[in-house]
Amino acid sequence: MKNLFFISLFFSFTTSFGQTPFREEIETDSSNIEIIRNSVYKVYTETFKRKDSVWYSVSYIDDTTQLNTQGWKLKNGTYLGTWKEYDRKGNLLFTQNHDKHTCIVNPKLFPYHNTLEKMKQAADKMIIAAYGKEFMDKHIIFDFDCSAYNKYKTKFGCCEDSMWTEDYLGSWTEPMTSKPNSFLFRYEVRLNSNDVNFIELGICLDEKGNYVPSEDDMTNNYGFEIIKTQSKNFIIDKNKAIEIAKKIGLKETSTNKIDEFLFWENFRKQKYYNGQFRYYITELVEQKEYKISEQRQGIVYKYMVYVFNPWTGEFVEKKKMKAIREWEKLSGSSTGLIPDNE
């Protein structure tokens, strides 16, 4: 193993005297190291073999002593602890603590950040109005995933017709070049605070902080649910849900595939109330491969789905659903869960 390390290291040194390699791979007894260079950055990634740990460091290629960012991650990509990001001049852009879910930017380099913070407060109030402060604290995380735009009408063609156009201006961690008038915020919703998996909640706002339905509402997890129960908290017991599902057909064996997760059932309407949260237990019952051409092929996954109301824990229905994955040499797509009406 050590011989492999020295051979790889020797190769990287020898090639560096000629043309700088785009990518290097180095293996040691304890880790796998990948070094990638492009016209802007040098990216160093060290993945440890016997730990769920990855050390990630990025520096600027024109001065490899000038740090862009660095920190620890898990192998699934989850960031740990505090990360800082710097520009090419060494100015601190922002400090983000992924454990405490905080992100503080340098106000000197983010001239329109106050506007973004005010709009985020408006989005927070909408969540609290719909589900309550306790739900916000227990089930919602804002991971500073947002975008800001300049939205305006532009003419097209030879007539006086016009259409709405949006120019991307920046985000929480990308300084904006001008004042935005359209915003998109994305939150993570978990069944409980211990869950690793989450679903996205999207909220679009205009320059006054009003909710704006968009075409994305038809396909993504945007909008709110009307809650009819007095308690606005997810109270479902996963173990009880599994036992109920077993009584009505779920077969748990060593060979079949069972998954459980929170799901947003989209009503596909451009309205404020545009869906409902559900807890799904899915059983993979069939898997079919198909071929459209020699280059393009796919798989249809068929499921029996046991649906529960996470607000009450009650069983709602049992239904058939499917997911379709297609791919070719340089592209691919997946539908996610959709109704199976066949």
Q: pLDDT at residue 12 above 60?
A: no
**At which residue do the structure tokens 């201006």 appear?**
169
4 or 332, higher pLDDT = 332
Q: Is the pLDDT of residue 155 over 80?
A: no
pLDDT of 11 > 50? The answer is: no
Neighbours of 82 (CB within 10 A): 14
Whether 38 shows a pLDDT value over 50: the answer reads yes
Whether residue 9 has pLDDT greater than 50: no
pLDDT for 159 equals 64
Give this prediction's pTM.
0.83
As a whole number of angstroms, the distance between CA 183 and CA 166 comes to 10
pLDDT given for residue 235 in this prediction: 93
Per-residue pLDDT at 14 exceeds 80: no
Mean pLDDT of the chain: 89
Q: Which two tokens stand for residue 295?
A: 């280059």
What are the tens digits of pLDDT across the range 271-320? 999 999 999 999 999 999 999 998 999 999 999 999 999 999 999 999 99
Q: How far is CA 81 from CA 77, 124, 137, 146, in A?
A: 13, 24, 20, 21
Cα(250)–Cα(242) distance, integer angstroms: 8
The helix/strand/coil state of 17 is coil
Band of the pLDDT at 3, cuts 50, 70, 90? very low
Spatial separation of the C-alpha atoms in residues 264 and 220, rounded to whole Å: 9
- pLDDT computed for residue 21 by the predictor: 55
At 7, the pLDDT band (50, 70, 90 cuts) reads: very low
**Highest mean pLDDT pick, 231-235, 253-257, 274-278:** 274-278
